[in-house]
Amino acid sequence: MNFFNLSSPNKFQKFSKRIYPWVSYGSIMFLFIGLFFSFFKSPPDYLQGESVRIMYIHVPAAWLSLQIYVVMAICSFVSLVYRHSLADIISRSCAPIGATFTFITLITGSIWGKPTWGAWWVWDARLTSELILFFIYIGHMIVSNSYEDYRKGDKNAAILTLVGIVNLPIIKWSVDWWNTLHQPASIMKLDTPSIDSEMLTPLFFMAISFFLIFLSIMLTRISTEIMVRKIEIIKSNF
Amino acid sequence: MENFLTFLNSDKYITYVCSSYLICFFGLLILKISSHIKEKKVIKEYTDIKRKYES
Amino acid sequence: MKAKNKRLMIIISLLATFFLGCILLFLNLRENLIYFYSPTEINESKTTKTEKIRVGGMVSKGSVKRELIMRDNEKLEKINFEITDFENSVQVNYIGILPDLFKEEQGVVVEGIFKNQIFLASKVLAKHDENYMPPEIKKMQLLKDNNDGS
């Protein structure tokens, strides 16, 4: 099939119906593999002890909170320039998922911070910028739903997303630019990862699982949104 | 298995680890279920409206 | 020009101006966003020493001294230690409970005020680095380092 046909909502919906079961079952399969490795096959850390296991959900959630924003920013750009309806639909479906993953990042990070740092929350650059990301997601959801005409909501939410992209490099490199309590990157750096391979395996499987969970929820929300718009069109035609 | 047993015996950290996993999967489950509920509702609305306007 | 291309130009130029403004703002605000200062930075600037600040560094080896004191009929632990960035160091005094990860030769961030060249901490936070490994491998690393050193 032609990949470019996917830009038509109808073709996309057919395609998404076909891959949804694979994505959905895949996410559950990888989740169980990931859980098995994170509790049975990975050792405690030399310094943090057992609390290192929180990393296996905290880090994938944090990666996704940034990746989803990148997807939304690209869609917002396409929507503003080329007025493509599918871009708006994807952006609108992604916002609640991004907000959830950011929320998970903040909460698990907080629970991890208590036994390691000795504090639930500190106002250092990494934590603060991640909190701002959460507010941007919430703002996107509020803006896109607060207009009678959904097209107006889409447009304003897209502008908000493009403005908010300033926050992404700040989150990513905050640990290098400033003295933060949060530790620097272990994997996403030019050097070799500074995590032992036994701890890298559960992290890897959890990251795949979280990504598939994101995809499966996104597909559901996109097909819902396409139908909502079809209903609007039918209503306005009569 | 050995790793799991030492984890179970670490009474200091087990509550932190378990609560973070529970909160994480609870959040994801709520999002998943609410997305499906919304989809069901919209499908119903769509079939209703199609029947209404096509007849 | 097509409407599509016009929109592309407008959006790109708007975004470019906006990001340029953000970068300028960011470069000016950079100083204010630092969570803690290193002992060297503290030594260089004598002005901020009366207000509440945070200092971060490594706990010097063999510098931790604990003693029990009585205050308001409560037994409290008073801890003396030294924070260093391998150039300068700061003496810290703290009364209270330390986080589990507080150890010699580990990162730490303390919050408090300076009084007579001694830092009176009201809060101690443990900082850990980006390395994760099982205890056995850490032990092997330490052994290897010791062998190399001798």
* Greater pLDDT, C54 or A76: A76
Chain B: residue whose CA lies nearest to A216: B32
> How many Cβ pairs closer than 8 A exist between chain A and C?
111
A230–B3 C-beta distance less than 8 A: no
Cβ neighbours, 10 Å, residue C92: 23
- Mean pLDDT, residues C85-107: 84
Beta partners for residue C90, in sequence order: C83
Q: How far is C34 from chain A (nearest CA, A)?
A: 5
The H or E element that residue B50 is part of is helix B14-54
B15-18 long-range CB contacts below 8 Å, 24 or more apart? B16/A51, B16/A54, B16/A111, B16/A112, B16/A114, B16/A115, B17/A50, B17/A51, B17/A53, B17/A54
Q: pLDDT digits over B1-55, tens only?
A: 777 888 777 777 888 999 999 999 999 999 999 999 999 999 999 999 888 887 7
- Three-state DSSP class for residue A194: coil
Please report residues of A whose CB lies closer than 8 A to that of B7: 39, 44, 50, 53
Q: Which of C31, C128, C129, C44 is nearest to C90 (CA)?
A: C44
- Quickly tell me which residue has 């996993």 as its tokens: B21
Closest CB to B31 among A39, A97, A223 = A97
**Which amino acid is it at A47?**
L
The larger pLDDT score, comparing residue C3 to residue B19, is at B19
User: Could you state, in order of their start, the residue ranges of all structural domains in chain A?
Assistant: 58-184+201-238
In one-letter notation, the amino acid at residue B18 is C
Residues of A in contact with C136 (CB under 8 A): 43
Q: Is the pLDDT of residue A236 over 90?
A: no
Cβ–Cβ below 8 Å for A231 and B42 = yes
State the complex-level ipTM.
Answer: 0.90
- For residue C138, list chain A residues with Cβ-Cβ distance below 8 A: 46-47
Determine, for residues C128 and A183 on separate chains, whether the beta-carbon distance falls below 8 Å.
yes
Q: Could you tell me the pLDDT band of residue A2, with boundaries at 50, 70 and 90?
A: very low
Sign of the torsion formed by the C-alpha atoms of A172, A178, A181 and A185: positive
* pLDDT score of C84 more than 90: no
| Cβ contact A234–B36 (<8 Å) | no
Residue A65 neighbours by CB under 8 Å, 6+ apart: A98, A101, A102, A105, A130, A133
Tell how strand C107-115 and strand C118-127 pair up: antiparallel
Task: Give the pair of three-digit tokens for residue C53.
Answer: 């600040």
Least confident piece of the model among A197-206, C39-48, C55-64: C39-48
Number of continuous H segments (helices) and E segments (strands) in chain C:
3, 6
Check residue C53 and report its DSSP letter.
Answer: E
Tell me if chain C has a CB within 8 Å of the CB of A80: yes
Cβ-Cβ contacts under 8 Å, C127 against chain A: 117, 181, 183
